Amino acid sequence: MKKWLIPVIIIGVIAFAIYSWAVGFNNTALEYEADAKTAWADVESSYQRRNDLIGNLVKTVQGAADFERTTLTEVIEARAKATSTTIDASNLTSENMAQFQQAQSGLSGALSKLLVSVERYPELKANQNFLELQSQLEGTENRINVARDRYNESVNIYDKHIKKFPGSFLAGIFGFEEMPRYKSDPGSENAPDVDFEF
């Protein structure tokens, strides 16, 4: 056997091992990134379900002739803002996420105000359509929370994969960047003031 053949074989084996490792890293990162983007789509889908239910809720409440129009208008405007603020899964940045979250929080606040206002309207509280929509909204809020948690779990797996050495070296070469997590609303760490008046 020729002496020059052994170093060529060794170099070939090392090159193949490095190539296999790089391809494996890239494919796994692509898979984790796709999972995180799908999880984000599930978050958006849950919010879309809520927006659709709110549209039906607004129609039901509009039937109550003496219902407070300003509260209803706030919900309608907040819903319009929330539906116009969307994020493409390929453009998940912290800034876009904050905008999206702010629009959704505005809608949540307006919706809470609407549901509190309903307490003063016995005919609305007795309306079967309203009660069913209210129940579906509660279930949807739970879905939203679960979807956000699953998104964060997927992002965590992806981010750990691209941040661990030596994969972090390849992540820079292949263009993989950290994805933002869904964070709680500012101030949500403080307990709300509850005032019971009788």
Residue 187: what pLDDT? 57
pLDDT tens digits for the chain (198 residues)? 578 888 889 999 999 999 999 999 999 999 999 999 999 999 999 999 998 888 888 888 877 656 677 788 888 888 888 888 888 777 788 888 888 888 898 888 888 888 888 777 777 777 888 888 888 988 999 999 999 999 999 999 999 999 998 889 899 999 999 999 988 766 555 544 434 343
CB neighbour list of residue 92: distance below 8 Å, 6 or more residues apart: 37, 40, 179, 180
| pTM over 0.75, yes/no | yes
Residue 65: what pLDDT? 54
Decide yes or no: CATH 1.20.120.160 for domain 5-174: no
Residue 127: what pLDDT? 80
Residue 195: what pLDDT? 43
- Angle made by CA atoms 15, 33, 165, in degrees to the nearest 5: 45
Q: What ranges in the chain are assigned the alpha helix state H? A: 5-62, 69-84, 94-118, 122-125, 128-163, 167-174
Tens-place pLDDT, residues 27-74: 999 999 999 999 999 999 999 999 888 888 888 887 765 667 778 888
* Cα dihedral sign, 55-74-119-187: positive
Map out the domains of the chain as residue ranges.
5-174
Residue 93: what pLDDT? 84
Residue 156: what pLDDT? 96
Residue 197: what pLDDT? 41
87 close to 97: Cβ distance less than 8 angstroms: yes
The Cβ of residue 104 has, within 10 Å, a number of other Cβ atoms equal to 20
115 close to 129: Cβ distance less than 8 angstroms: no
